Structure 1
Amino acid sequence: MSGETLSDTAYHRIKSDISEGRIAAESVLSERGLAEELGISRTPLRTALSQLESEGVIDRLKNGVILVRSVTVEQLFEIVTLRQQLESAAAARAAGFPIPPELSDLRSEMQRFVEGSETAFDAFWEVDERFHMAVARAARLSLLPELLAEQRAIARRCTLTRTYDSFTDQAREHVEIIDAIGAGDGEAARAAMWRHFDHVRDRFLQTFSGA
């Protein structure tokens, strides 16, 4: 990324590795190992680690050990509840404006999953992120995408999010939301997004309980 410092690059690389599961929760990190892997000195690395610590991604224990923090199921459900409130309101608001081309394009993409197109978790996560960000932008809420990105990054660190291997239901719910927004029906869009997060919560509970 143009203009990035060594500490910026290290920060983004380590955070991405943690968010995407390449570095597992509760892992112990070695400054020496990270510095060698990233090809940088300890000074910019420590700046990156300080930023990750301030964000609650890692902990530096009293003995100096650096530990990757886990995200609990309770925290995950709190994020679901927060996003349900914010994104339901955003969907209703988005229905008051002309539907943007990116949401129409995403509908076609989601329909392929509804019809049985298979994908891996990381690939669907990227499409899912584009969908939720597109709804926020369609609502013309400039601060919401950044808030969602932050909450999604935390949620992705919870191992419970990586237990899915089928995304048909989620894609179908996304299509319903897009259709309601496209129809200009704010209440239907709000209700469809609210149901979507109810189902997200239910799917997590079923996975957690082993059902």
Structure 2
Amino acid sequence: MVVNWYTSGVRLDFRVLHTHIAMTAQATTKRQRTSSPPAPKLQKSVPRRSSGTRPVAAPHVDEAESPLADVEENADQSLSERAHRALMGMILSGELAPTEVITERQIAIQLGVSRTPLREAIRRLEGARLLERQRSGVLVVRALPIEEYISILDVRRLLESEAARLAAGQIPLEELERLRGRANAVLALPEDAVIPAAAEDEDLHLMIAASAGNPVLEEMILAMRTRTSMFRFGRFPARRRDVMREHLAIVDALASGNGALAQQAMEQHLDQVRATIIARLTDSRRRG
């Protein structure tokens, strides 16, 4: 459809007007191109098809987001965890004695790891106060003073008695029966019989901590027990039967589901441990 527009006696045709506007736009574009540098051509992400095969461009992956970087990081963490467990085991077993100097190179060779994961393991053990760095910068196994040992026992009494209260009625009866059978078997042994330390103590305490339903409480108990296990005071064969009877009292309270009774039984057990340590120290000082 043609629209006629009369202005000052001149007839304009919209088709002519459209042509004029288009020519003006082309001229403006041409001037802009000559006055400014050409725009860079965009790279196509997919090249043209060649010989019947359509190649696919490899996607760009940031190095920080690379799956290979994640694998390498996980490998370092795994080595660090292995070094942490091995080094802590050497400390708790007495292979590395209190005040003994830790040489990173020697330990790294012994554990079969590089010094990078070993340093991470050392940092964690320093945080747990199993290792300490002296003013000279030398790293040594930390010696646990007797006063600190007693203080940790006091904290353990608070934590583990609460864990026993929470765990009452939560541990499967078959597990408690297993512990009860082990305690009775130890009671039947001769006084001088050698038995694993776990049969005397660890299994019951760790089971209670894990059954309390409080992960933070469990973590704190494990940390306190790790620190007290550093204290080299020897075993107490004369208290073996008493310890087993105390354990049986705890097991019975747990099986009954009586939280208050389980709490009391754990308190009495740890009170006896503390009293025995103090009595041994007093006797040693008197003889010395």
TM-score, length of structure 2 as denominator length: 0.64
User: What SS is found at the alignment partner of 2:113?
Assistant: coil
User: What SS is found at the alignment partner of 1:194?
Assistant: helix
CA distance in 2, matches of 1:40, 1:96: 44
Q: Which has the higher contact order (CA 8 A, sep 6+)?
A: 1
Q: Computing the radius of gyration over CA atoms, which structure comes out larger, 1 or 2?
A: 2
Matches within 5 A, 1:99-114: 99-114=172-187
CA distance in 2, matches of 1:95, 1:133: 14
Matches within 5 A, 1:57-68: 57-68=130-141
CA apart distance, 1:155: 0.5
CA apart distance, 1:129: 1.6
User: What SS is found at the alignment partner of 1:143?
Assistant: helix
CA distance in 2, matches of 1:55, 1:187: 32
CA apart distance, 1:184: 3.1
Structure 2: runs of 5+ lacking an equivalent? 1-73
CA distance in 1, matches of 2:112, 2:171: 48
Mean Cα deviation higher: 125-134 or 12-21: 125-134
Structure 1 residues 98, 197: CA separation in 2 closer, same or farther (over 3 Å shift)?
A: closer
CA distance in 1, matches of 2:255, 2:116: 51
CA apart distance, 1:189: 2.1
CA contact (8 A) 1:173 1:192 kept: yes
Structure 1 residues 75, 113: CA separation in 2 closer, same or farther (over 3 Å shift)?
A: same
CA contact (8 A) 1:93 1:139 kept: yes
Aligned-partner residue type, residue 280 of structure 2: T
CA distance in 1, matches of 2:104, 2:129: 18
Q: Count residues with an aligned counterpart.
A: 207
The aligned counterpart of 2:256 is 183
Matches within 5 A, 1:11-160: 11-97=84-170, 99-116=172-189, 118-120=193-195, 123-125=196-198, 127-160=200-233
The aligned counterpart of 1:165 is 237
Q: What percent of counterpart residues are identical?
A: 31
CA contact (8 A) 1:103 1:135 kept: no
Compare the two structures and name the one with the higher helix fraction. Answer: 1
User: What SS is found at the alignment partner of 1:59?
Assistant: strand
CA distance in 2, matches of 1:106, 1:140: 20
